[in-house]
Amino acid sequence: MFMRTAATFAAVVAMSAVLSTAAYAQQQDGTAAHSPIDLGKTTFAQKCSHCHGPNMVTSGTVTPDLRRFPDDQPRFVTTVKQGKNGRMPPWGDILSDDEITALWAYVSSRRAQ
């Protein structure tokens, strides 16, 4: 009985190690299913793309090209939460802090070099 229990325990430990390694590798290569960038991209598509354009490419509207937004997260968060110049509506009561953080991750990942 002890040998069977020990063998079962060893198998469980080995399987846990394999699964943990696979999960770590998935996170390292950027294929995690719900990365902040992926979540931000989804939120952008649902809430922002009608003004800022699909993939942040506008067709000459008054909205800025977000790919050129400065590397200034506090400014971005304030703009999203409070709106801007009466043109961009405030989203602070609509989007959660986590959604805004994910949006920033997405916008930052698309920044023009």
Residue in this structure with the two tokens 């993939």, named with its chain if needed: 55
Given a contact cutoff of 8 angstroms between Cβ atoms, the answer to whether 41 and 47 are in contact is no
Smallest Cα–Cα separation from 97: which of 36, 56, 25? 36
Q: State both tokens at 21.
A: 């390694």
For residues 77 and 11, the answer to whether their CB atoms sit within 8 Å is no
Task: Return the exposure string of 53-78: e unless at least 16 CB atoms fall within 10 Å of the residue's CB, then b.
Answer: beebebeeeebeebeebeeeeeebbe
* Average pLDDT score over the chain: 78
Under 8 Å between Cβ of 34 and 27: no
pTM above 0.75, yes or no: no
Is 46's pLDDT higher than 80?
yes
Tens of pLDDT, residues 89-113: 999 999 999 999 999 999 999 987 5
